[in-house]
């Protein structure tokens, strides 16, 4: 019985992973869908611009995007767009090459990475842009260590 419980816990840990929710990377298919996402979401949006002619750089960026999904989970929205099959995106944002990463927040472009698409550059731009809302300021801070701790018998 104990072996079955242990096996079940191991399988649960495997399925849950690190405990963070993993985000999903989906393809943008048309301009209407993009405008809807851009105007309705409250989360930061990271768009990876690719092309079927891009080659190894886009393959490497796909790996970075999967890692980004694992790292930031559901804190950001991840989208990919192929500018050859969806030229509307290239026209909207004056794109002439791929790969490119564009970060949007509150419907506006706030950052763009074109040359350095390393993992460090990607995470730096996400971490340094303060994309995530700070905790509310009305949270009550815990009492200092010098305050007396009530006992359970009182």
User: What pLDDT, in 10s, does the model give residues 14-51?
Assistant: 444 433 445 788 999 899 999 999 999 999 999 999 99
Structural domains of the chain, ranges and CATH numbers in brackets = 19-128 (3.40.30.10)
Which of 47-51, 98-102, 131-135 is the least confident region? 131-135
Q: Is 5 exposed, middle or buried (0-12, 13-18, 19+ CB in 10 A)?
A: exposed
Residue listed under structure tokens 């209407």: 32
Kindly state the greatest CA–CA separation across the chain. Answer: 73
On the question of pLDDT at 123 being above 90, the answer is no
The number of residues in the chain equals 154
């Amino acid at each position: 019985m104990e072996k079955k419980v242990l096996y079940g816990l191991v399988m649960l840990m495997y399925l849950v992973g690190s405990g963070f929710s993993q985000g999903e990377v989906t393809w943008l298919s048309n301009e209407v869908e993009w405008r809807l996402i851009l105007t309705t979401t409250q989360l930061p949006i990271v768009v990876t611009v690719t092309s079927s002619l891009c080659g190894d750089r886009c393959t490497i960026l796909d790996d970075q995007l999967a890692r980004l999904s694992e790292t930031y989970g559901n804190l950001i929205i991840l989208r990919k767009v192929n500018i050859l099959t969806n030229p509307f995106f290239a026209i909207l944002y004056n794109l002439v090459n791929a790969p490119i990463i564009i970060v949007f927040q509150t419907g506006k472009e706030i950052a763009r990475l074109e040359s350095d698409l390393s993992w460090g550059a990607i995470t730096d731009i996400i971490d340094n842009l303060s994309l995530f809302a700070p905790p509310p300021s009305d949270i009550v801070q815990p009492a200092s260590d010098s305050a007396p701790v009530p006992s359970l018998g009182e």
